Amino acid sequence: MTRSRALLVVRYGLLVLILAAVGWALARNWDAVADELGRMGWGSVLLAFALTLGAPVFTLVGWRVLLTDLGTRLPMAPAASIFFVGQLGKYVPGSVWTVFAQAEMGAALRVPRRRMAVTGLLSIGLAILCGSLIGVVALPRLLARDASAVTGWLVGAALVLGAVLLWPPLLNRCVALGLRVLRREPLEHALGGRAILVTCAWFVGAWVSAGLGVAVLVRDLQPDASATDLVVVAVCGFALASAVGQLSVLVPAGVGVRDGVLALLLVTFMPLSAATAVVVVARFLTVVGDLVVAGGGWAWGRRHHLLGSRG
């Protein structure tokens, strides 16, 4: 067996184990979870879905800012088609499929594959960085396993760290180093500070939008949840859980990892059954949202021959 095939077996094996563990935990608590799901109002679910849907849209805008700064300005429609269809690659074990799909579709519009690939990799890295910095606020809850207060020094440290890591000269050197390690040619020009700032602002908006969707679900099942709980756990905690999930490259879309971390945070102030219901519905809404935007992107790309079809 080749190394690549063995790694693929390991990835899928790990995915099966995680899904089995999640399924077993859900089945064991299903009666209680089903009651919580039954209490969840459709209005709350629809509002949560709208907020969840905002995340890929905001991420698209940030991705397009990066691509423009690197030398290619695509109209919104083809950019959305490339980005949304390519994003389905995250459901395949490994992190390269999204970038590969976007590079191939971009080539049909004469966007250099290297430029598109670098944009994709930068987007993933900056999204994880932004999510991690927002998620730092939830770390005391995760580590202490109780309603620990957020300390000012932790927030301050996160802001300072973010400013250092996003400092254009340092970020450009990291990109150049990464390209050299991958034996790829350097960028035509360095990333601009404004592009980095605007991109990160859109990515932060994406994390906040998705986190607010979780907060809506939490508030529906736990009406007495404080504003602190909703902000620290639902918004910041969701960003932390998702960033950890994205770093788990062996597992597609962070399945099981994101959900487990988020559940650990939610049970610090709500019953396990309610936390499980929130996690299940949040994951479902994320998948449906990805399919909805990808469906629109696929339809446009099919009509304009970005998907290898002339019919």
pLDDT digits (tens, 9 = 90+) for 2-47: 655 654 555 555 455 545 554 555 555 556 556 777 788 889 999 9
Nearest to 71 by CA among 188, 203, 178: 188
What is the distance between the alpha carbons of residues 258 and 13, in angstroms, rounded to a whole number? Answer: 18
The separation between CA 91 and the C-alpha centre of its own chain, rounded to angstroms, equals: 12
Place of tokens 């005391």: 140
CA distance 53 to 244: 21
Give pLDDT, residue 310: 40
The sign of the dihedral angle between the CA atoms of 231, 236, 239, 244 is negative
**Complete DSSP assignment for 161-218:** HHHHHT-HHHHHHHHHHHHHHTT-PPPSSPPPHHHHHHHHHHHHHHHHHHHHHHHHHH
Query: Where residue 183 falls among pLDDT bands split at 50, 70, 90?
Result: confident
**How far is Cα 220 from Cα 196, in angstroms, rounded to an integer?**
36
Q: List the domain boundaries for the chain.
A: 3-303
106-122 pLDDT tens trace:
888 888 888 888 888 88
Q: How far apart are CA 209 and CA 239, in angstroms?
A: 10
Q: What is the pTM of this model?
A: 0.82
Q: What is the pLDDT of residue 14?
A: 47
Token pair 């109209």 is at which residue? 75
Kindly state the percentage of the chain with pLDDT values over 70. 78
Task: Return the residue matching tokens 């910095």.
Answer: 133
For residue 215, which of 267, 155, 282 has the smallest C-alpha distance? 282
Amino acid letter for position 35: D
Please name which of 255, 252, 309 lies closest in space to residue 282, comparing C-alpha atoms: 255
Q: What is the pLDDT of residue 59?
A: 96
The predicted-structure confidence for 115-149, as pLDDT tens digits, reads as follows 888 888 889 889 999 999 899 888 888 877 665 55
- Cα 60 off chain centre by: 12
Which tens digit of pLDDT belongs to each residue from 264-300?
899 988 898 888 889 888 888 888 888 889 888 888 8
The pLDDT tens digits of the residues spanning 210-254 come to 999 999 999 999 999 889 889 999 999 999 998 888 776 555 555
The pLDDT assigned to 266 comes to 93
Contact 18, 251 (CB under 8 A): yes
Return the HEC string of 77-104. HHHHHHHHHHHHHHHCCCCHHHHHHHHH
Nearest CA to 258 out of 172, 143, 135 is that of 135
189 φ/ψ angles, rounded to the nearest 5 degrees: -155, 160
Cα distance between residue 138 and residue 242, in whole Å = 12
Instruction: Write the DSSP string, 240-264.
Output: HHHHHHHH-TTSGGGTTHHHHHHHH
Tell me the chain's radius of gyration from C-alpha atoms.
20
